[in-house]
A and B are shown apart, each in its own frame.
Chain A
Amino acid sequence: MNPNMKRLRRSMMFLNCQKPSLIKDPYVYAPDSIMLDLEDAVAEREKDAARYSLYHALQEIDYRGVERVVRINGLDTDLWKEDIRCSIAGGCDAVRIPKTETAKDVQLVEEAVLKAEKEFHVEPGRTLIMAALESARGVMNAFEICCASSRLFGIALSGGDYTKDLQTTISGTGVELMGARQHMIIAARAAGVQCFDTVFTDLNNMDGFRKDVETIHAMGFDGKSIINPRQIPIVHEIFTPKQKEIIFAEKVVREIDSKRAQGIGVFTVDGKMIDIAFYDGAKRILALARASGVYKGEL
């Protein structure tokens, strides 16, 4: 398995490839991933120029460990194949497919990615794929999309197009996204891939943004697409385990390990009943804390 399949992706920041000033050093804001956009943000007549900037940015800029995902143009355009060639030639880490509706869409991209990897002498399988679901059909097919490729690390909801397809609009309450979010996280977990939430576009409503992130965090999402670096600290704060949780998770892991040796199945930690069912959850918190840089313990 590609070691980056399960990497930390709390914040995935969109950046318009048409604007060199945006893509020159987004790593200073320390997002987990950047999504270099060739699709909606780029004007139709600037697609070539954006690809040119993208290629040179990928080649020249040391993004200091930040994952570089490229959002290609839709499979309904004649742009996406060249987008993939350019991205792979530049050395991107992953490709994001917009408007994914079926497993077949993922497989088409997978073929083009492999072809480009061979063409540009990139290790086959190095480039990962993520799929954005932007329609009712895409959401309904979430599970088959999640299972479509061994390169696919996750799915992301794209709320703008999705609500249009539902014949509604973004209300700010999240009610119109509830079904898709719930369905997608279940499908992703069933398939063993990650799941990411849609962008929050009202930059003047940071309280609303915080509530939105708290909701999707509680639902089990792995991270959120963001459109402005100001959103990063909030996402990271909410998605990074708190010291209290880390200490408790450490205790749980240690206690389960030691009680298991003594043949004890159920016991209490800090007054809470604990059994083996808590083990994986506690391990996951510690792994997330370690990946987020807030845990340096040995567990």
Chain B
Amino acid sequence: MVPLSWYIILSAVVFSIGVIGFLTRRNLIMTFMSIELMLNSVNISFVAFSHYLQSMRGQIIVFFVIAVAAAETAIGLAIIIAYYKNNPTIKVDEINLLKG
């Protein structure tokens, strides 16, 4: 039997990888994937707690998160393509339209 803390540590590690990837990678696609990683790390802890507490609520929320992540991916990729058509770059440091 794997104890709950292992799942939580795994989730924290995956989440941290996501955060660091998001902050450091310069490729827009990679940044995007880092966000997916963070979402999935949360899914891990939801499922782990669901099993530990013998409650289905966590698993239901996981389905919601997966659905939202799918929609987010679809829209996010569409935005990236639209942006690329106007400005032929996907380097994060060159995208600064909101600069004050």
Do A and B originate from a single complex?
A: no
List residues of chain B with CB under 8 Å of any chain A CB: none
